Amino acid sequence: MRRLFFLRLHSFVYPDKQMFMTITQQLQTAGRPLLSVEFFPPKTEAGRATFDQTAVELLQLKPDFVSVTCGAGGTAAGPTLEISTQLSTQGYRSVMPHCTCVDRSRDEVLDSVDEFVAAGFNNIMALRGDPPKGERYFKPAPDGFRYAAEMVAALRERQPALCIGVAGYPEKHPEALNVDEDIRHLKEKVDAGADFITTQLFLNNGAYFEFVDRCRSEGITAPILPGLLPILSLEQIKRMRTFCDFQVPSRLLQDLEAAQDNPEKAERVGLYWTVEQISELVEGGAPGIHLYLLNRAQTIFYPELSACLARVRGE
């Protein structure tokens, strides 16, 4: 019922589905790095309240696009469409739903993307998805896609006009044997039709710049948007490292350890780090900044960070 309501509201507010530029078109025409934010569908009532508040507050950030995860961290896939539609109706100019292959046959994945397109979305983040909690290896569903590259190829055929994003891993995907092998598989996704790459979070910009150089020397020309987590504490970093691989630079680690008994100081240490990361990435030619804000707006309103993000938007 709620979903139907949002779908109707969406087509009322945005009757012309073609009025939105794809992310590729934005990358080509913006003349500056894009700013984007990732949301996830809330799992609890309290999470819903936080999400609703954050969705209103983050409009002030004027992101060029926002994305909505699918099934990440145990959330079901269904709410992605509802949350994406809600964000569109609230005034976010471009919303990209994520779609994974977990527990779904090829037809189910393709049907679900058709549904996104029918609702007016012209960008999709195509992902394989993680193995279920406690399992080490991904097992495709019967007649399911084994790798994201297979999904991208099928999507490109089914929806030729769709702008497709894929995931990249500056510090290697945990299942990959080494970075070279992982980049070869990333190239398969781009060759299959992906338009741009968004990276896993990293704290060391050197890892991103080296990754971009290696991708370019392998013939990957697609834009590579760096994914960043504004850090609030050492605890947060430890939590994030339980499900993604990234190095913590020793200077940051020492400063966060020294501030462990003072949460405000730890937040300042983390956010200054993020400001430095963003400034250096933009100076180094990154085509955008993608923020993993974990459905919270609090970090964005730190004066140093909001000033830095305003500079990214060319203000």
Query: What is the C-alpha separation between 223 and 152, in angstroms, rounded?
Result: 16
Q: Which stretch binds ligand FAD (CB under 6 A): 41-49, 106-114, 181-189, 234-242?
A: 181-189
Give yes or no for a contact between 70 and 100, defined as CB atoms under 8 angstroms apart. yes
Q: Is 130 in the site for ligand FAD (CB under 6 A)?
A: yes
Q: Is 176 in the site for ligand FAD (CB under 6 A)?
A: yes
Minimum CB separation of residue 144 from ligand FAD in Å reads 12
| Burial classification of residue 207, based on how many CB atoms lie within 10 Å of its CB (0-12 exposed, 13-18 middle, 19 or more buried) | buried
In the list 129, 144, 226, 287, the residue contacting ligand FAD (rule: CB under 6 A) is 129
Q: Is 98 in the site for ligand FAD (CB under 6 A)?
A: yes
Q: Is 10 in the site for ligand FAD (CB under 6 A)?
A: no
The β-bridge partners of 290 are 36, 227
Helix ranges (H only) for the chain are 2-13, 23-29, 45-57, 79-90, 106-118, 148-158, 179-191, 205-217, 234-240, 250-258, 263-283, 303-312
User: Residue 196 belongs to what H/E stretch?
Assistant: strand 196-201
Q: Is 106 in the site for ligand FAD (CB under 6 A)?
A: no
In the list 128, 154, 212, 309, the residue contacting ligand FAD (rule: CB under 6 A) is 128
In the list 27, 61, 149, 282, the residue contacting ligand FAD (rule: CB under 6 A) is 149
Minimum CB separation of residue 184 from ligand FAD in Å reads 8
Q: Which lies closer to ligand FAD via its Cβ, residue 222 or residue 266?
A: 222
Active site residue 38: yes
Minimum CB separation of residue 170 from ligand FAD in Å reads 10
- Contact set for ligand FAD, span 227-246 (CB under 6 A): 227
Of the candidates 202, 191, 245, which has an alpha carbon nearest to the alpha carbon of residue 225?
202
In the list 92, 170, 173, 270, the residue contacting ligand FAD (rule: CB under 6 A) is 173
Q: Is 127 in the site for ligand FAD (CB under 6 A)?
A: yes
Size of the site for ligand FAD (CB under 6 A): 24
Q: Which amino acid is at 160?
A: P
Compute CA 144 distance to the chain's CA centroid, rounded to the nearest angstrom.
Answer: 23
Instruction: Give me the DSSP letters along 79-138.
Output: HHHHHHHHHHHHT-S-EEEEEE-TT--HHHHHHHHHHHHHTT--EEEEE--PPPTT-SS-
Residues with a known catalytic role: 38
Interface with ligand FAD (CB under 6 A): 69-72, 98, 100, 125, 127-130, 147-149, 167, 173, 175-176, 182, 185, 189, 198, 200, 227
